[in-house]
Structure 1
Amino acid sequence: MNKLIKSTLASAIVLSLAACSSKPSVVDYETKAMQLAQKHIIIDTHIDVPYRIYNRWEDMSQATEIGDFDFYRAIQGGLNVPFMSIYIPASYEESGGSFQLANQLIDSMEALVGRAPHKFAMAPDSKDVIAQFGSGKISLALGIENGTPIEGKLENLQHFYDRGVRYITLAHSKSNHISDSSYDSNHQWQGLSPFGKELIAAMNNIGMMVDISHVSDDAFYQAVAISKVPVIASHSSARHFTPGFERNMDDKMIKALAKNGGVIQVNFGSSFVTHQANQYGALRAAAAKKAGVANDRDFAAKFKAENPYPFANLDNVLDHIDHIVKLVGIDYVGIGSDYDGVGDSLPEGLKDVSTYPTLIAGLLGRGYSEADIEKILSGNFLRVWRQVEAYAAAQK
């Protein structure tokens, strides 16, 4: 890392920590944080680059004009393994074409490696992550967000495994042929569909991680009961801070996840992190209704000008990690930022992939040891990944 980048990043960390903490000594952790970001593997289990560049292509091997991720910012932040989200909009469940879109998005990641093999490498297995660490390359892992491309066919599961996909988020914003969604009031399956239950067993056997982010509470409990290996929440936070928001996990669920051996990867989006941000959309809708006008783009702009969006901050994200650790221990929490997936709602101080040292400095300031931080950055998730791989290997 050159001196200019180090100086810029150090200044950003100092400003961020000073803004969101009353402890003056916390800024002393900036140098240590940058060292730890380079020393330890950082795995972020949910970054939405593939769909971002599907809509507006940019070369991720270069510095980019928009978005939250590119090679240089990732290197600056110490990010080693972004799980690139093969995001399939919920509408594809009805319209068709999801299998093709998923393959196109995977193609785009392979093309990125092809264009810049000195900067990126595919990492379909945990051993690849370890082998590539220290090479200067960013290891690209893949997860499908929304199981719609499976299309009710177990042979499609094998197909995506062969293409390097290592987790599947069972549903997204609408219930599908696999699972009910936390965002959908129509819980048609009361949890998982019969095929969804079959699919989880097949995922276990093949070595594909089961991701319960986005699913309904009933689907979560059914998935945990069926799975023979730990499951993951690739980008969810604690419902304790966002009452009534089913998309996040409540304390009972987090305890069940830990008992299963799984890990919750904390989402950074402000609406996932604070109740105030989570309710912002509802407040705008109520204001439009009261004014007797449409809740359209023009009203949204006017409302935002008069009522600025209540961004979360570093301390709010750290509160989620603290809560989970106090509830179930240090072994069941990680990072699933949702960079490039939550628009402009990211917290102050954690705006893109260059800012993991800011998070680490905050953890140091709250008394986490280096060993604890290594678990949060990657150790906990790697444990689950290896358990899933080992179970599948034993079935052969």
Structure 2
Amino acid sequence: MKLITSLSLLASSCCVMAQQSTGTEFTPASQRAIELTQHTILVDTHIDVPYRLEHQWEDVSQAAGGDFDYPRAVKGGLNAPFMSIYIPAGLEKTGGSYALANKLIDYVEAIVGRAPDKFAIADSVSDVHAHFKAGKISLPMGMENGSPIEGKLENLTHFYQRGVRYITLAHSQSNHISDSSYDLRRQWQGLSPFGKELVSEMNKIGMMIDVSHISDDAFYQVMALSKTPVIASHSSLRKYTPGFERNMDDKMLLALKDNGGVIQINFGSSFVTATAGAWGDQFKAKRSEVAQNNAADSPVVKDFRKAYLAKNPYPFASLANVLDHIDHVVKLIGIEHVGIGSDYDGVGDSLPIGLKDVASYPNLVQGLLDRGYSDTDIIKILSGNVLRVWQDVEDYAAKH
């Protein structure tokens, strides 16, 4: 979940009011693109359904709100979405991370319990393949923010046993494991001593390490320590968003290649275009100025967002922008190192034109076809690459 980005802070109630982007046109999905998504395992490593349900419960086995539900997932060909067990960074200090993580896992189990004919928890790569053959949607889980580990290796085992298969080491603030890319206070200068120990234990237990959100120093320390390939479960490229440390630069991509890992591209507009990020920064600055000079209950403060948008439409990214990120990874480090980590239900209404919800994957596939990608390469992007990493992690744990 990316509600801490400048874009997402306002997306949930504003961005639907206007659409402005360069290159907004996209080719509607052809029958070939639709068939590719329908007959291929499609893994998206980051969808924030559990925390969305924490705010308002919905039965996502039926048509529902947000970016994800069963009918739209079926339409889009999504059959293996990682449910994000998102833990707000503030709980590191106030407490409650462990309890919330277990509660969100309960929600995922409840989804399956309500519709066992539609969903199944996936604990392994073989589970994903079995569910696909059975016509069910796999629900593997990833924990976004390692705060619930609470410095106890037994908690790592606990969450593994509950179905968590990757952990994003930190989120928007540094925690007891790692510094965050968003946090100016680099208390550990990378990983903490416990964080370094945790990396080794994650390798041994068969838990994928997620390097999204962590600082550059922490990233390189993970690269040096991990004996298995890692994932960036929902990150994009700094090449297109200069100065945005949350994304990965070319040097990091090259290190990721050496590690054998994979970057799963985030769809959020501020992750794929500098224009969207700059718009968010300007919005926040102006909002702070207005708030300082006016009473909190004044109309100018209450109606600021609506008035600002009327004069400054939000610059949505395009499908082409997302494809540019995939292209760059492929050209720099190869087709084996890129996948999909959309951040659906985590970036509000900031999603690019053409990729508005989980029914939209055929549009992405059509874009890849239009750019000359073969069916074989598209299958690697849709699932082959991340399943290869997951299998490597499983195999290492089986030996150690």
TM-score normalised by length of structure 1? 0.92
Measured after TM superposition, the shift of residue 297 of structure 1 is 5.4
Report the CA distance shift for 1:306/1:137 in structure 2 as closer, same or farther (over 3 A): same
Contact map agreement 2:237 2:247 (CA 8 A) in 1: yes
Q: Tell me, in whole angstroms, the C-alpha distance in 2 between the residues paired with 1:297 and 1:311.
A: 24
Q: Tell me, in whole angstroms, the C-alpha distance in 1 between the residues paired with 2:146 and 2:107.
A: 19
Q: Tell me, in whole angstroms, the C-alpha distance in 2 between the residues paired with 1:76 and 1:300.
A: 34
Contact map agreement 2:66 2:345 (CA 8 A) in 1: yes
Please show how residues 43-122 of structure 1 align to structure 2 within 5 Å.
43-64=43-64, 66-122=65-121
Tell me the equivalent position of 1:37.
Answer: 37
Measured after TM superposition, the shift of residue 298 of structure 1 is 3.1
Tell me the equivalent position of 1:186.
Answer: 185
Tell me the equivalent position of 1:346.
Answer: 351
1:219 to 2:224 alignment: no
Q: Tell me, in whole angstroms, the C-alpha distance in 2 between the residues paired with 1:392 and 1:52.
A: 32
1:298 to 2:297 alignment: no
Report the CA distance shift for 1:253/1:297 in structure 2 as closer, same or farther (over 3 A): farther
SS in 2 for 1:50: helix
Measured after TM superposition, the shift of residue 394 of structure 1 is 0.3
Deviations 1:312-345 (A, max 9, x none): 0100000000011111110000000000000010
Q: Which amino acid aligns with 1:234?
A: S
Report the CA distance shift for 1:114/1:19 in structure 2 as closer, same or farther (over 3 A): same
Please show how residues 209-248 of structure 1 align to structure 2 within 5 Å.
209-248=208-247
Identity of aligned residues (%): 66
Tell me the equivalent position of 1:12.
Answer: none
SS in 1 for 2:356: coil
Deviations 1:327-380 (A, max 9, x none): 111000000000000001000010000010000000000000000100000000
Please show how residues 163-202 of structure 1 align to structure 2 within 5 Å.
163-202=162-201
Please show how residues 120-199 of structure 1 align to structure 2 within 5 Å.
120-199=119-198
Decide which of 326, 332, 356 is 1:327's aligned counterpart: 332
Decide which of 299, 309, 313 is 2:314's aligned counterpart: 309
Contact map agreement 2:24 2:353 (CA 8 A) in 1: no
Tell me the equivalent position of 1:10.
Answer: none
Measured after TM superposition, the shift of residue 119 of structure 1 is 0.6
Measured after TM superposition, the shift of residue 232 of structure 1 is 0.5
Report the CA distance shift for 1:198/1:280 in structure 2 as closer, same or farther (over 3 A): same
Q: Tell me, in whole angstroms, the C-alpha distance in 2 between the residues paired with 1:20 and 1:142.
A: 34
1:386 to 2:385 alignment: no
Measured after TM superposition, the shift of residue 293 of structure 1 is 4.2
Report the CA distance shift for 1:85/1:289 in structure 2 as closer, same or farther (over 3 A): closer
SS in 2 for 1:61: coil
Larger relative contact order (Cα-Cα within 8 Å, sequence gap ≥ 6): 2
Measured after TM superposition, the shift of residue 132 of structure 1 is 1.0
Q: Tell me, in whole angstroms, the C-alpha distance in 1 between the residues paired with 2:287 and 2:72.
A: 39
Moved over 6 A (4+): 289-292
Measured after TM superposition, the shift of residue 287 of structure 1 is 3.6
Deviations 1:94-117 (A, max 9, x none): 111111110010011111111110
Deviations 1:209-245 (A, max 9, x none): 0000000000000011100000100000011000000
Q: Which amino acid aligns with 1:171?
A: A
Stretches of structure 1 that go unaligned for 5 or more consecutive residues are 1-15
Deviations 1:139-189 (A, max 9, x none): 000000000000000000000000010000000000000000011111110
Measured after TM superposition, the shift of residue 138 of structure 1 is 0.6
Report the CA distance shift for 1:19/1:283 in structure 2 as closer, same or farther (over 3 A): closer
Q: Could you say what the CA RMSD is over the residues aligned between the two structures, in angstroms?
A: 1.6
Tell me the equivalent position of 1:7.
Answer: none
Q: Tell me, in whole angstroms, the C-alpha distance in 2 between the residues paired with 1:345 and 1:19.
A: 14
Deviations 1:280-316 (A, max 9, x none): 1211234456777469653232211210110001000
Report the CA distance shift for 1:290/1:120 in structure 2 as closer, same or farther (over 3 A): closer
Q: Tell me, in whole angstroms, the C-alpha distance in 1 between the residues paired with 2:178 and 2:73.
A: 33
Tell me the equivalent position of 1:4.
Answer: none
Deviations 1:62-89 (A, max 9, x none): 100x200000000000001000000000
Contact map agreement 2:98 2:149 (CA 8 A) in 1: yes
Measured after TM superposition, the shift of residue 55 of structure 1 is 0.6
Q: Which amino acid aligns with 1:344?
A: D
Measured after TM superposition, the shift of residue 278 of structure 1 is 1.1
Range with bigger deviation, 139-148 or 277-286: 277-286
Stretches of structure 2 that go unaligned for 5 or more consecutive residues are 1-20, 295-299
Q: Which amino acid aligns with 1:33?
A: A
Measured after TM superposition, the shift of residue 19 of structure 1 is 4.7
Q: Which amino acid aligns with 2:56?
A: R
TM-score normalised by length of structure 2? 0.91
